[in-house]
A and B are shown apart, each in its own frame.
Chain A
Amino acid sequence: MAAVSQSAMAAKPSVENPKMTARNLDLFYSDNQALYEVDLDIAEKQVTALIGPSGCGKSTFLRCLNRMNDTIDGVTIKGEVTLDGRDIYDKRIDVVQLRARIGMVFQKPNPFPKSIYDNVAYGPRIHGLVNSRDELDEIVMTSLERAGLLKEVKDRLQSPATGLSGGQQQRLCIARAVAVSPEVILMDEPCSALDPIATAKVEELIDELRSNYTIVIVTHSMQQAARVSQRTAFFHLGKLVEVGETDQIFTNPKDERTKGYITGRFG
């Protein structure tokens, strides 16, 4: 009992100067409520992991953060999500620009069926971020470098991206997201389609990216959450059950459900 109350003291539901916040967030797919009053802060330049059993709403929550749920018919959202203190669901917010500021990496590697170069260059091109070919070359190179892919592909930038291995494709997708200089990168189970070696590389990469970007990652692997994240949020049945420092969540959860989930006793 004493341990539980101690950990409750240690858990911080909110952080100082959050990059993004969600307050009272409800989400409905037509009539089904998928998220219930989620309050969560995303700390700047940290990795926040979202964990929980299948169908608990963690991916749905992630997609609220860059308004990708807008593209699905019949979704209604109540509550508030802010980026740097500004409501991103405000009518005056331009969704296209928002998604450039909040990049996303998906579960399955989804490079465009174009060359490696064109994949990375696509974002800067459509947003008009560059004035010359040299500038674009530089952005592509830096992005590939940051994604730890440059060494492997620098001799074949013009070959099709679909010819890369799964792990390389996923890192290319990360490079593509990085190329538009986002502030936040959302990752939806980025390693679930990768083998352990590729997974290790991507995890290493996430750790490096943390110094420049705020990262939110959805994962089914608790080991992964423990390895890469600083803060962890546990979702269950559409509710945010517990959030706190990753160490605290994994060693000393204050909620019984969290404890049950991370020890594998229930799902």
Chain B
Amino acid sequence: MTDMASLMEDRAAAKVISDNLRKPVDWDSPKIARNIKKRYAAERRFKIYGLVAIGIALLALCMLATSIGSKGYSAFYQTYVQLEVHFDPAVIDPDGTGDPAVIGRANFDGLIKQSLRDRFPDVTSRSDKRDLYGIVSGGASYDLRERVLENPSLIGQTRTIWLISGDDFDMLNKGYIDPTVAEGDRRLNDQEVSWYNDLVEAGAVEKQFHTRFFTSGDSREPELAGIWGAAVGSFYTLLVTLALSFPIGVLAAVYLEEFAPKNRFTQIVEVNINNLAAVPSIVFGLLGLEVYLNVMHLPRSAPVVGGLTLALMTLPTIIIASRAAIKAVPPSIRQAALGLGASPVQTVTHHVLPLAMPGILTGTIIGMAQALGETAPLLMIGMVAFIVDIPGGALDPATVLPVQIYLWADSPERAFVEKTSAAIMVLLAFLVLMNGLAVYLRKKFERKW
């Protein structure tokens, strides 16, 4: 354990140094004291810089959260109006057949309009009537139909029912429309405001939890628009992305780290992978448009194309993270396996990959979170289309959460402002969930050596 050679060298070197240091040091001199003071000050300063940096970051986060939260929380509630609806057999089922097909075709919209006219009998002019019908959403008639189809005995009865209100009425109820400003400067005229006040006095207006927001697809009517279609689209897109980028990325990383000879070619590959990670995502969108749509003729606006495009974008992230994780596995483990007569592939699959898995999974989830929040490349391949139906598979037209946010932010109706913020909250919740999963997986598979 004593290496004579180095010992002798050390002794020789020590002699030279001790010659130079023959002068005794006065540890109590003012110069030394100043030096100590300066060092303490520098350490305090450094600590303060760190605290300030964290403070700024937290402040920015708080601002973002409050701005989105304060704008978006109201989207989780929806105004409902109570009306007396007479389920007129003459309208719903004039021949008394009881056939669901006949009932389904009935003019429920007319029933609602009738009850609105009954509630406010003074309204006579055509334009006033149109304003009056705006109190209740156009989507309320579908709810009514569901109700009757579920329970046909309603036909002929008169019931007091909560109906989903129109978006302007909803905005007024949530306080986003100020009735005190000049009539010409607001969406609702004085007459509509008076109807609202009348209904409020009668206790016929209330806010209910807006489940429809989480269960329905997009709509032109803000009160009917929901996030579920985009969420399902995001799910299929990410599924395709994961299925492609994870195996390809991990295999590429394993090959580059464990098997590839270190030569000019692999260096070029390495530089290009790092470059690819920095390419603007819109460029991947253009590539996807050209290759997948124009050359391969895959369906437009479909999650499969979005997934393929995002997989290109996620690959470099996964490769870089996986390579770092593989590199961090101590070489002694590889030597141990090789020394026992494990083949290189056995060494990788039995030892290196399992030990690198936490890092690989963390990198993958961060890459997927990035893909979840990506918008630009998806605009290029047509996932920006207005799609009402909830996609049933990766080949159906769909949109994704961030694009939905973009679409709503672009819509003129006041009610879409809160929808936008609410959608951002849903997206952030997914991101927090995914990053939490990354932390969990890392902790779970972490092994010490």
Contacts and interface: CB of A to CB of B under 8 A. Distances in A.
B151 interface: no
Contacts of B2: 220-221
Given A110-B333, A220-B3, A221-B1, A103 B261 contact: no
Interface string B406-449: 00000000000000000000000000000000000000000111
A108 B332 contact: yes
Contacts of A99: 338-341
Interface in A176-194: 176-177, 180, 192
Nearest to B341: A100
User: Which of A68, A96, A100 is the most central at the interface, judged by chain B CB atoms within 10 Å of its CB?
Assistant: A96
A53 B333 contact: no
A230 to B, nearest CB: 21
Nearest to B336: A110
Interface in B5-35: 5-8
B5 A123 contact: no
Given A106-B336, A177-B339, A53 B448 contact: no
A66 interface: yes
Contacts of A100: 340-341
A113 B448 contact: yes
Contact-residue bracket for chain A: 35 or more
Nearest to B335: A106
Contact of B340 (A108, A177, A264): A177
Interface string A1-32: 00000000000000000000000000000000
The prevalent SS among residues of B at the interface is helix
B448 A126 contact: no
A54 B262 contact: no
Given A53-B3, A220-B2, A266-B4, A112 B342 contact: no
Contact of A180 (B4, B334, B340): B340
A71 B338 CA distance: 9
Contact of B261 (A73, A104, A180): A73
A216 B340 CA distance: 16
A113 B340 contact: no
B448 to A, nearest CB: 6
Interface string B341-357: 11100100011000100
A207 B86 CA distance: 102
A50 to B, nearest CB: 14
User: Which of A53, A66, A173, A267 is the most central at the interface, judged by chain B CB atoms within 10 Å of its CB?
Assistant: A267
Contacts of B346: 126
A113 B5 CA distance: 36
B4 A267 contact: yes
A103 B335 contact: no
Contact of A123 (B330, B340, B343): B340
A123 B341 contact: yes
B332 A96 contact: no
B345 to A, nearest CB: 10
Contacts of B351: 112
B449 A106 contact: no
Contacts of A71: 334-335, 338
B446 to A, nearest CB: 10
Contacts of A267: 3-8
A108 B336 CA distance: 10
Contact of A110 (B6, B8, B335): B335
Interface string A111-123: 1110000000011
Given A68-B335, A106-B332, A266-B8, A220 B1 contact: yes
Given A113-B355, A220-B2, A176 B7 contact: no
A99 B334 CA distance: 13
User: Which of A99, A112, A265 is the most central at the interface, judged by chain B CB atoms within 10 Å of its CB?
Assistant: A112
Contacts of A53: 3-5
A261 B448 CA distance: 40
Given A54-B3, A113-B447, A267-B6, A126 B341 contact: yes
B448 A162 contact: yes
Contacts of A180: 340-341
Contacts of B8: 266-267
Given A112-B333, A112-B351, A106 B339 contact: yes
Interface in A238-257: none
B355 A176 contact: no
Interface of B: 1-8, 261-262, 330, 332-343, 346, 350-351, 355, 447-449
For the complex of A and B, the 5 pairs showing the least CB-CB separation, nearest first, are A267-B5, A100-B341, A267-B4, A104-B339, A110-B332
Given A53-B3, A96-B342, A162-B448, 20 more contacts: A53-B5, A54-B3, A71-B338, A98-B341, A99-B341, A103-B339, A106-B335, A110-B332, A110-B333, A111-B336, A112-B333, A112-B351, A113-B448, A122-B342, A126-B342, A126-B346, A126-B350, A221-B1, A267-B5, A267-B8
19 contacts: A53-B5, A71-B338, A96-B341, A96-B343, A99-B340, A99-B341, A104-B335, A106-B335, A110-B330, A110-B335, A112-B333, A113-B447, A122-B337, A122-B340, A122-B350, A192-B1, A264-B4, A267-B3, A267-B4
